[in-house]
């Protein structure tokens, strides 16, 4: 199987676990993971290292069964995966129902707080915000950032407001100045070019359907998590998100029967035991 586009092993791992483990109270054998990941070009050592790092970061739990080691989700990773599931299947890539509300976040940090400033900006970007001005960021809709700000320890330095634009504001121009629309559009268009052929194709090896679907889902999640879901009526004509979403759903639907059959053959799963962390 050959599909373009580099993905971090941890991103693939989370997608794989969300697909096969989330909500099922099971753990998956490390050898099964190694087999699936080898089919997307990730070697055994890189897969084992990813599993170990994710255990160390509290994203995975180990469970030994005889001589085999199995891996399952923690509360932290399950929360991350539920958010990804919501973004893929419920929120979607196109914001057609925006009510005109914006969330404004202003911050003022000491000059010496370079790390804190970098962390805040990174998390705001991940949450759909863009820099309206230096120290003032904006996102469409009502975005709850209270936990994000508290986690970074910046509650005393951040102020959050809900607002509507004045009637004379050129929202389309503001969006174009605040977000890198051309870059985001390129990502959607590249996804369509890469995956549209699979709307009418099946892999030659039926077992490749599982890693192929895994890769499509991980790539799609990476794109939509980087999309602030700006109101579609203020985006350029021919905005490619809807076309890309159609491609993703069509490919996912086509591959799913084969992928589920492959999972039955390739994956060794055991029930979660409460006596192991």
The pLDDT, as a whole number, for residue 92 is 85
What is 192-229 written as a DSSP string? HHHHGGGGS---SSGGGHHHHHHHHHHHHHHHHHT---
- Per-residue model confidence as pLDDT tens digits over 165-202: 999 999 999 999 999 999 999 999 999 999 999 999 99
Q: What is the pLDDT of residue 83?
A: 86
Rounded Cα–Cα distance for residues 102 and 141 (Å): 5
d(CA 226, CA 142): 17
Report residue 72 CA to chain centroid gap.
19
Share of the chain above pLDDT 70, in %: 97
* Structural domains in the chain plus CATH codes: 101-164 (3.30.70), 180-266 (no CATH)
d(CA 105, CA 184): 23
Segment 138-147 shows an average pLDDT of 93
pLDDT digits (tens, 9 = 90+) for 225-264: 889 999 999 999 999 999 999 999 999 999 999 999 999 9
């Amino acid at each position: 199987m050959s599909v373009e586009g580099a993905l971090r092993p941890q991103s693939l791992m989370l997608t794989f676990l969300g697909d096969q483990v989330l909500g099922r109270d099971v753990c998956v054998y490390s050898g099964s993971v190694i087999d699936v990941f080898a089919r997307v070009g990730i070697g055994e050592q890189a897969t084992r290292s990813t599993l170990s790092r994710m255990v160390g970061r509290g994203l995975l739990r180990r469970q030994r069964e005889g001589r085999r080691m199995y891996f399952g989700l923690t509360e932290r990773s399950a929360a991350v995966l539920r958010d990804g599931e919501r973004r893929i299947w419920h929120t979607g890539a196109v914001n057609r129902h925006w009510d005109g509300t914006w969330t404004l976040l202003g911050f003022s940090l000491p000059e010496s707080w370079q790390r804190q400033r970098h962390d805040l900006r990174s998390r705001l970007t991940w949450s759909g915000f863009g820099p309206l001005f230096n120290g003032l960021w904006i996102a469409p809709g009502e975005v709850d950032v209270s936990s994000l700000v508290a986690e970074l320890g910046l509650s005393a330095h951040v102020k959050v407001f809900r607002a509507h634009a004045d009637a004379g504001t050129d929202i389309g121009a503001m969006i174009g100045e605040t977000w890198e629309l051309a870059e985001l559009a390129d990502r959607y268009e590249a996804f369509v070019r890469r995956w549209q052929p699979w709307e009418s194709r099946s892999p030659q090896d039926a077992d490749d359907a599982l890693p192929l679907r895994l890769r499509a889902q991980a790539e799609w999640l990476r794109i939509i998590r980087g999309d602030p879901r700006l109101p579609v009526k203020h985006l350029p004509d021919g905005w490619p998100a809807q076309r890309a979403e159609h491609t993703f759903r069509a490919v996912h639907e086509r591959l799913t029967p084969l992928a589920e059959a492959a999972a039955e053959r390739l994956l060794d799963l055991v029930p979660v035991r409460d006596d192991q962390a």
